Chain A
Amino acid sequence: MPLELFMPALSPTMEDGTLAKWLKNEGDIIKSGDVIAEIETDKATMEFESIDDGILGKILIPSGTENVLVNTVIALMLTDEETQEDLDNYNTKSNKSISSIKQDTETLKEFSDPDSDLNKDNKSLDDSDDNQDISIESNSNISKKIHKEKITISPLAKRLAIEKNIDYKTITGTGPYGRIIKKDIINPTAKLNDDIKNDKSNLSSSNDAVDYYNPKNYDVLPLTKMREIIASRLTKTISEIPQYSINIDCSVSSLNKIRARMNQELSNQDIKLSINDFIVKASSKCLLEVPEVNSSWAGNSILKHHTADIGFAVAIEGGLITPIIRNVEIKGLKEISVESKILINTAKERKLKSSDYEGGNFSISSLASYGIKSFNSIVNQPQSSILSVGIAEERPVIINGALAIDNVMTVTLTSDHRVIDGAVAAKFISYFKQLIEDPSLLLL
């Protein structure tokens, strides 16, 4: 029997993902460890490695298919002496794979939070009556289903989809009887996150754009997974969180002096501390000093975090991602610097693991390199605050009643008011200023 390759769960909360690209063709010889496909999840593109040797017999889920559920059979691999005949016989299957699917589901469940969406989605698998049927359908008939499932799509929509290289099989139609119509292709907003999906009002504004502009004057870019996630998360955040911002100017003259001396010391180790490393470290101390900020809104309670796990936004092609440095409170500047550089490089190669970017308590975003003086970020839910860092530049200041020039940086703290009141945020940011202006305190 051919070996089934399942859609992998690349993180405990992953429910589905995009089968971005097959890197091997049907008939290719596969060695264990070969990367055979790229899977795109919420945040990153990951490589899917084979753990067996064999021949890629049949690809069941084509490149570019979105929302492939975890544990869907995505391809069949021929091992040993298996031939085309084995592929053809694939429809009549033993129950082995059914139990293996169930097992996978069980294993997954152990990792996941009992209230997570994952379990809701898998609930039907737990209802024993339907168990067998569902499993059989998702296995033995899958190849048949893919080819025979009737997709209703208008001729115009179909032509547009092919032209724009959009896989219409994954699009939910809004025409009569769910028929896919032109609008669905021109404006493929159909598959935002579930929370966004439920709130139709969020979609209407984007639909209007298509009607509003002359189609001669724009190109339609289908949303990437990352763009969908950014859109859905931020829309949800901005509409759910009562957030506000406060800012403060910090002198960085002493910091720069100390930093220069440290970097001289580190030069033989090929390490260069950046101002951001100091900001990360200072933030961790503030989070411990003002623990109300190191908290999350949880509906009917507030979670107070034990550690300072700090994310920092990294712009990558097509979007951004926020890798996390964990336990910053026990790390030194050197460690922070080394770790952040590795995370930035990995992020830019789109190779972050979900554990690299999930679960932070606080975020930092810097637009200093663009010369931005100050700005407000949007809180990264379920965190309750984010620090926006502007450029450190020479500015006129008054020192002891006289005009002077100083190196100054403006930082802005945007907070979830459900968790953090203004005075608390002010306490946090003024302590931050103190630490930045006198970095020796970072040693305490």
Chain B
Amino acid sequence: MNDNYDVVIIGSGPGGYVAAIRSAQLGLKTAIVEKESLGGVCLNWGCIPTKSLLKSAEVYQMLKHSDFYGIKADKVSIDFKKIIKRSRGVAKTLSDGISYLLKKNKIDLLIGSATFVTNNHLKVNNNGNIYDIKSDNIIIATGARAKLLPDVKLSKNIWTYREAMVPEELPKNIAIIGSGAIGMEFASFYNALGSNVSVIEIADNILPSEDKEVSEHAKKEFSDLGIKFYTQTSVQKISSKDSKEILKIKDKKNKINTIEVDKVIIAIGIIGNIDNLGLENIDIKTENGHIITDKWSNTNIKNIYAIGDVAGAPWLAHKASHEAVICVEKISGLENLHPLNKNNIPGCVYSTPQIASIGLTEKIASENYNIKVGKFPLMANGKAQAIGSTSGFVKVIYDEKTGELLGAHMIGDGVTELIHGYAIAKNMEGTEEDIKTTVFPHPTLSESLHEAVLNAYDISIHF
């Protein structure tokens, strides 16, 4: 193996493998180092397998309520092991797909853990077999892992997302600490399959980064489905007793309560994988567990870059992939590049109900602009009525002065497949005029995107 590369990427998640493919496309001699499974967390332990799990939960709920549609389905039951198996199978298929893509693009795959020796020299350790590689440019795409609570150790009953994805059996009672996207997706999954789910959130609202109105609607709907919420509440202590976990929790009035559960999922956020990379050998600057980068993903060392979760929020696979492309194109010297505009990155939660958003929340927008807000309830959408998914709404926020789309927030069935409409408009700097004059097909849920904009300008037709 030739050990002199133009670009070496550490990590093969949605940042790393995309960087490698784009780099190879641009004619750069490229290698990728992976210590575990191709595709990283996203593909093996995150985005993809959870969507498989959630689909199973949805199908189960659909069948349980099939009577609503005039279908009789008696004795519907769960094969939990098969649900998990299918999820692992999907991850495996996609991981194999990455392997094929790397080969196709003639990218060298180096299995092992990489450590910086100098700024262009890595040692790769594959189970004790150590070899040296050199590269003009190195991209750190090592991703992130679950942040843990201080004084809480993982065990057979205390999980992160990773253990929560491959349980042996369905837990009866489960507590989820943190109500972000990851916490709520697991809450939704386990609740739908029949577990008793409690969610503990330290902030005022669940899904704290979402628009408040969406968050409140979500809380109500999740509660109606049986999820129990403890907001403005912190976990003081977790202790084990007779293979149960007892959580001592404190609410905002400093009142202490206890919850007894079988399993605990910690979903309080993530922390960058910056350890054991030898970053200290080359003085790469980090902050709060993440590598500091500029808008081109460049670290403080000229030829070293960091992309995706390891380089900070928002912690989203699609953000990593876009940073990957921009970063590699920058390395290759392409011109007229544009750094990623973080306001234009959509975020999705695949729970039931689904939540999708882009740009500023109403609160932040109103602090910075004079705004126009439009809302359209799915109740008033023909397709939503037809398919029996009438809960939820679409909300848009415009700059009153310029017609710039500042943000969009939606909750309801299928909204994660709708948000890109606003993402395109936002990325192209479309104004309300562009959406007003766009023809949306009837009948679709997407008509709500249209109507929400009409509503912002007081010309709603169906509401």
Chain A interface (Cβ < 8 Å from any Cβ of B): 154-157, 159-160, 163, 174-178, 181-182, 214-216
Q: Are B369's CB and A215's CB within 8 A?
A: yes
Binary interface encoding of chain B residues 423-435 relative to chain A, with 1 for a CB under 8 A from any of its CBs, else 0: 0000011110110
Known interface pairs A175-B338, A176-B338, A178-B336; A156-B403 also in contact (CB < 8 Å): yes
Check if B127 is an interface residue, CB within 8 A of chain A: no
With A and B bound together, what is the CA distance between A155 and B398 in angstroms?
14
A174 CA to B341 CA in the complex, in Å?
A: 14
Q: Determine if B288 is an interface residue (Cβ-Cβ < 8 Å).
A: no
- Contact (Cβ within 8 A) A155 B402: no
Kindly state the interface size class of chain B when it binds its partner: 10 to 19
Q: Which residues of A contact B336 (CB under 8 A)?
A: 176-178
What are 8 contact pairs spanning A and B, CB under 8 A?
A: A154-B428, A154-B430, A155-B430, A159-B403, A176-B338, A181-B429, A182-B404, A182-B429
Chain A residue numbers with a CB within 8 Å of B429 are 154-157, 181-182
- Residues from chain B with a CB closer than 8 A to the CB of A181 are 429
> Is A159 a contact partner of B338 (Cβ separation < 8 A)?
no
Among B338, B369, B370, B402: residue with most chain A CB under 10 A: B402
**Contacts A154-B429, A160-B402; is A216 near B338 (CB within 8 Å)?**
no
The yes or no answer to B2 lying at the interface (CB within 8 A) is: no
Q: Select from chain A the residue with minimum beta-carbon distance to B430.
A: A155
The 5 closest A-B pairs by CB, nearest first: A154-B429, A156-B429, A155-B431, A155-B430, A156-B404
Q: Which residues of B contact A156 (CB under 8 A)?
A: 402-404, 429-431
Bound: A199/B252 CA distance, A: 55
Q: Quick one: which of A157, A163, A177, A216 contacts B368, CB cutoff 8 A?
A: A216
CA distance A41 to B268 in the complex (A): 61
Q: How far is the CA of A406 from the CA of B368 in the complex (A)?
A: 56
In the bound complex, do residue B368 and residue A215 qualify as a contact, i.e. CB atoms below 8 Å apart? yes
Q: How far is the CA of A342 from the CA of B402 in the complex (A)?
A: 47
A159 partner residues in chain B, CB cutoff 8 A: 402-403, 431, 433
Task: Tell me the smallest distance from the CB of B366 to a CB of chain A, in Å.
Answer: 10
Q: How far, in whole Å, are A154 and B428 apart by their CA atoms in the complex?
A: 6
B338 cross-chain contacts in A, Cβ below 8 A:
174-176
CB of B433, distance to nearest CB on chain A (Å): 7
Chain B: residues with CB nearer than 8 A to chain A?
A: 336, 338, 368-370, 402-404, 428-431, 433-434
Query: 11 other contacts beyond A155-B429, A159-B431, A178-B336, with CB at 8 A cut-off?
Result: A154-B428, A155-B431, A155-B433, A156-B404, A156-B431, A160-B402, A176-B336, A176-B338, A181-B429, A215-B368, A215-B369
Q: Which of A156, A157, A175 has the most CB of B within 10 A?
A: A156
The residue in chain A whose Cβ has the minimal distance to the Cβ of B425 is: A155
B428 and chain A: residue at smallest CB distance = A154
Closest Cβ of chain A: how far from B67's Cβ, in Å? 48
Do residues B431 and A214 form an inter-chain contact, with CB atoms below 8 A?
Answer: no
Chain A contact residues: helix, strand, loop or mixed: helix
**Chain B hits for A214, CB < 8 A:** 368
Residues of B within 8 A of A216 (CB): 368-370
The residues of A that contact B402 with a CB separation of less than 8 Å are: 156, 159-160, 163
A156 to B404, CA, bound (A): 6
Q: Tell me the complex Cα distance, A74–B249, Å.
A: 77
In the complex, A215 Cα to B401 Cα: how many Å?
Answer: 11
A155 touches B434 (CB 8 A): yes
Q: Which residues of A contact B370 (CB under 8 A)?
A: 216
Q: How far is the CA of A163 from the CA of B401 in the complex (A)?
A: 10
* Residues of A with C-beta under 8 A to B431: 155-156, 159
Closest residue of chain B to A153 (Cβ to Cβ) is B429
A291–B428 Cα gap in the complex (Å)? 60
Nearest chain B CB to A129's CB is how many angstroms away? 28
* CB proximity of A156 to chain B, nearest CB, Å: 4
CA distance A163 to B429 in the complex (A): 16
A157 to B402 CA separation, bound complex (whole angstroms): 9
Chain B contacts of A215 at CB under 8 A? 368-369
Tell whether A155 pairs with B428 under 8 Å between CB atoms, given A175-B338, A176-B338, A178-B336.
yes
| Chain A: minimal CB distance from B335 (Å) | 11
Complex-state Cα separation, A42 to B433, whole angstroms: 39
A171 CB to nearest B CB, Å: 14
Which one of A155, A157, A163, A215 has the highest number of Cβ atoms from chain B below 10 Å of its Cβ?
A: A155
Q: Which B residue's beta carbon lies closest to that of A183?
A: B429
CB-CB under 8 A from A175, the residues of chain B are 338
Q: How far is the CA of A148 from the CA of B177 in the complex (A)?
A: 61
How many angstroms from the CA of A182 to the CA of B429 in the assembled complex?
A: 7
User: Given the complex of chains A and B, what is the CA–CA distance between A182 and B368 in angstroms?
Assistant: 17
Residues of B within 8 A of A160 (CB): 402
Chain B residue numbers with a CB within 8 Å of A155 are: 428-431, 433-434
Bound-state CA distance A215–B370 (Å) is 10
CA distance A163 to B404 in the complex (A): 13
Contacts of B404 in A (CB 8 A): 156, 182
Which of chain A's residues have a CB closer than 8 A to the CB of B369? 215-216
Shortest B378–chain A CB gap in Å is 27
- B337's closest neighbor in chain A, by CB? A176
Residues of chain B within 8 A (CB-CB) of A182 are 404, 429
In the complex, A163→B399 CA distance in Å? 14
Which residues of chain B are near A157, meaning CB under 8 Å?
429
Residues of B within 8 A of A154 (CB): 428-430
Q: Roughly how many angstroms separate A160 CA and B428 CA in the complex, as a whole number?
A: 14
Cα–Cα, bound, A154→B429 (Å): 6
Residue of B nearest to A217 (CB): B368
CB distance from A186 to the nearest CB of B (A): 10
Closest chain B CB from A30 CB (angstroms):
40
CA distance A156 to B368 in the complex (A): 18
CA distance A178 to B338 in the complex (A): 11
Closest-by-CB residue of A relative to B403 is A159
A163→B428 CA distance, assembly (Å): 19
Query: B428 — which chain A residues lie within 8 A by C-beta?
Result: 154-155
Query: Shortest Cβ distance from A158 into chain B, in angstroms?
Result: 9
Please report the C-alpha to C-alpha distance between residue A175 and residue B338 in the assembled complex, in whole angstroms. Answer: 7
Instruction: For A178, list chain B residues within 8 Å (CB).
Output: 336
Nearest-neighbor residue (CB-CB) of A175 within chain B = B338
Q: Who on chain B is nearest to A214 by CB?
A: B368
Interchain nearest-CB distance for A61 vs B (Å): 28
Residue of A with least CB distance to B369: A216
Bound CA–CA A156/B401 (angstroms):
11
Q: A156 to B338, alpha carbons, bound, how many Å? A: 18
> In angstroms, how far is the closest chain A Cβ from the Cβ of B358?
15
How far apart are A160's CB and chain B's nearest CB, in angstroms?
6
Closest to B405 in A: A156
Distance A157 CA – B403 CA, assembled complex (angstroms): 10
